[in-house]
Amino acid sequence: MDNYTIDKEQENKILKQQKNDEEENDDVYKTYIIPQFKLMVQRTVKFEKRFFQEIGKKQISMYPLMEAAKSHLYCYYQKFLVDRIDKMSDPYIEEFLNGFKK
């Protein structure tokens, strides 16, 4: 066996480590990232509803900032969470995502 050949034992170790890393990554998403994302979306949707009910479009200077925040959340969802969150499982997520469909 030469230096460039990986034996089966080493290959299995590498594959096992990769699987463990993926499972740890999934745990981080399930425990921290997804709940925090859902909370941010919920607060954004509630704020937007309250904003238009109470203030309306009188204070238009704040609207671009809110749109930018929503855009950042949506980009993060599209890049990292689209396969990890069922959009029908949370009414706020569903409402939030429907705002971007055209």
At 6-36, the pLDDT tens digits run: 677 777 787 787 777 777 778 888 888 889 9
Domain boundaries, the chain: 8-98
CA distance 34 to 47: 20
Q: How far apart are CA 42 and CA 19, in angstroms?
A: 33
Cut 0.85: pTM above it: no
pLDDT tens digit sequence for 38-86: 999 999 999 888 877 777 666 666 778 888 889 999 999 999 888 888 8
- Assess contact for 37 and 81: CB atoms under 8 A: yes
